[in-house]
Amino acid sequence: MLTVIQPPFGFSALAWVAIVPFILVCSPTVKPGRLALTAYLVSLCYWFGNLYWLAPVTVSGWAAFCLYTAILWPALALCLRYCRIKKIPLFIAAPILVVGTERLQGLFLGGFFWRFLAHSQYANITIIQIADIFGTSGVSFLIAMVNGLLAELILDAISCHPECSEGSGVLPKTMRFFAALRMTYGCVLLKTALVCAALLAAVVYGRWRINQADKFIEVGPLVAAVQSNVPQSVKESLEAGDVIFDELLRNSKQSAEAGAELIVWPETMVQAILDKRVWPFLVSAENERKFDKALGEHSKDTCFVLVGAPGASPQIKEDGTVSFKRYNSAFLYKPDGSRANKKYNKIHLVPFGEVVPFKNSCPLLHGLLMKFTPYDYDYTLDYGREYTVFEMAAGKGKQAGPYKFSVMICYEDAVPAIARRFAIDERGRKRLDWLLNISNDGWFVRFKNGKIYPSTELAQHAAICVFRAVENRLAVLRSVNTGISCLIDTTGRIKNGYAAGTLPYRAMDREAVAGWFVDRVPIDKRITFFSKYGQWLDFCCAVCLVALIIVISLEAKFSRSKK
């Protein structure tokens, strides 16, 4: 069930019962070793199957992520078993342990925040509003709480059947059932009432936050997302650069004609280094000059244009030789035809996709891992350091103003801490009007016989981005190669339709197509609890999980020493 609750399958309602079977099999009667081994093998199958789209890109990355995340399931299973032994209520234990497990999953190599229980509810707009207090983990906590309650009710019902005696005589089977039922009725009622109260509170809070939105939201400028449809295998061919650029430019010009004041292109689709400081060191900067000139002419007297392209910074050594720091960058062109001095260098690099671990700490292991990467050379990028805020002036009358926005590149939108750092300054003040997400998901489509087939990654990536909008009350405009390009409002709603455009009307249908759309971005003035205080809930749950693992280990060690 955990597979089909996530997009694009759409069986999100099953999330509320999906882990009940897992909780039930974590029985005190099952030996710990057998339970851990079974959980690990099942988890391996789950992750290897559901991350299938990662294998063609990086076998080592696919294996590393799956092997690590699979370790967490046995830990979760043993902790649930221990809670059942100690009679700890499952509607309390399950959410703490599940959210703690999700947090530990997000620690691996900088973060792998994928396929959380909460992500299944991305379209359940009312429920996900609690993310502006608790983060994504709050939604996972609520779902796991319901699962824990249902598992506990099943176990309570089963416990009504064992032989029980009253006085010296043995009761008939029917009387035994009702005697046990009377003993557990009050407890069952209390547990159910508490969980229902939590659900009701989430619904009431969600409706309140949605209904109050109009008081705090202003209509922002017209923004456009341009979507290309280029598989990575085609993008990497030398002759494809000009063709890709020309198609993007055509769609971008149509967006400008439709009134767009900011046009956004996908990640790295301009295949040239736009840092002018690097040009003197290149053998030929012809392409760089050509693309830079075309973008300047396109933006001049029309709009702002943000593009994704390789970035670089020359480093002159003491001996006079030059080395380069290489980045995955975003550049902003202004209506006067110039390029803004500011650029954004991607901060959170994808392990095995943009950076191969252990280059300095363990060169031997680094060399081994390089054999499983997409390239036969060291393509490792450098980490960006600055959370860049871009500025633009746009609009007329009441809608005029200096606007501020930032961009998350690729999977940075899956990491809650990245969006949060962009959202507020050191004093806890909101410093952005909206966020952008540019990405190249052309890595995760299959290209066969001239046709492009999307993977499940595209829909899941869009669903995860929804939570960044709710957590910080910032609209997110996505421009993604192969899709899904869309506008997510500050309540987390993926908006269908647009003011003008050529992409499919329904946002989640914008897979493996090219086109553009223009719409007005909403600007929300609310500052959220999550923006100020971050991932406090999942941190607390992770601490509880680790503490419980330590307790279980110590008890097992003490038990063995007594024998």
DSSP string over 394-444: E-SGGG-EEEEEEEEEGGGGG-HHHHHHHHB-TTS-B--SEEEEEEEGGGG
Kindly state the average pLDDT of the residues 223-248. 86
Assess if residue 59 is contained within a domain. yes
Kindly state the average pLDDT of the residues 348-377. 74
pLDDT exceeds 60 at position 398: no
Work out the pLDDT band at 360, boundaries 50, 70, 90: confident
With beta carbons less than 8 A apart as the criterion, state whether 356 and 373 touch: yes
User: What is d(CA 347, CA 424) in angstroms, rounded to the nearest whole number?
Assistant: 17
Is pLDDT larger for residue 267 or for residue 167? 267
Tell whether 547 and 436 lie within a shared domain.
Answer: no
Tell whether 509 and 555 lie within a shared domain.
Answer: no
Q: Which of 555, 563, 552, 562 is nearest to 81 (CA)?
A: 552
User: What is the structure's pLDDT at 108?
Assistant: 72
Tell whether 199 and 229 lie within a shared domain.
Answer: no
pLDDT exceeds 60 at position 110: yes
Assess if residue 212 is contained within a domain. no
Kindly state the average pLDDT of the residues 106-117. 83
Work out the mean pLDDT of the chain and round it to a whole number.
90
Q: Which domain holds residue 244?
A: 220-309+330-339+386-522
What are 524's strand-pairing partners?
Answer: 217
Tell whether 232 and 279 lie within a shared domain.
Answer: yes
Kindly state the average pLDDT of the residues 233-261. 87
Q: Which of 245, 131, 2, 107 is nearest to 488 (CA)?
A: 131
Assess if residue 243 is contained within a domain. yes
Tell whether 201 and 275 lie within a shared domain.
Answer: no
Tell whether 53 and 129 lie within a shared domain.
Answer: yes
Tell whether 489 and 545 lie within a shared domain.
Answer: no
Which segment, 13-22, 173-182, 320-329, 373-382, is predicted with the most confidence on average? 13-22
pTM reported for the whole predicted model: 0.91
Assess if residue 436 is contained within a domain. yes
Assess if residue 142 is contained within a domain. yes
Assess if residue 277 is contained within a domain. yes
pLDDT exceeds 70 at position 167: no
pLDDT > 70: what percent of the chain?
A: 91
**Which amino acid is located at 192 in the chain?**
T
Kindly state the average pLDDT of the residues 217-225. 95
Tell whether 455 and 547 lie within a shared domain.
Answer: no
Kindly state the average pLDDT of the residues 266-270. 94
User: What is the structure's pLDDT at 169?
Assistant: 47
Q: What is the CATH number of the domain that holds 467?
A: 3.60.110.10
Tell whether 432 and 554 lie within a shared domain.
Answer: no
Lowest mean pLDDT among 103-107, 268-272, 282-286: 282-286
User: What is the structure's pLDDT at 397?
Assistant: 52
Domain count, the chain: 2
Tell whether 553 and 497 lie within a shared domain.
Answer: no
Lowest mean pLDDT among 104-113, 296-305, 346-355: 104-113
User: Which structure tokens are listed for 513?
Assistant: 């197509």
Assess if residue 91 is contained within a domain. yes
HSE-up (13 A, CA, CB side) for residue 152: 28
Tell whether 549 and 507 lie within a shared domain.
Answer: no
HSE-up (13 A, CA, CB side) for residue 415: 21
Residues 6+ apart with CB under 8 A from 335: 299, 300, 301, 302, 303, 304
Kindly state the average pLDDT of the residues 502-506. 96
Assess if residue 110 is contained within a domain. yes
Tell whether 419 and 498 lie within a shared domain.
Answer: yes
Give the β-pairing of 500-501 and 515-524. antiparallel
Q: Which of 104, 102, 99, 97 is nearest to 81 (CA)?
A: 97
Q: How far is CA 532 from CA 157, 417, 419, 540, in A?
A: 44, 11, 12, 16
User: What is the structure's pLDDT at 441?
Assistant: 95
pLDDT > 90: what percent of the chain?
A: 71
Q: Which of 217, 136, 225 is nearest to 473 (CA)?
A: 217
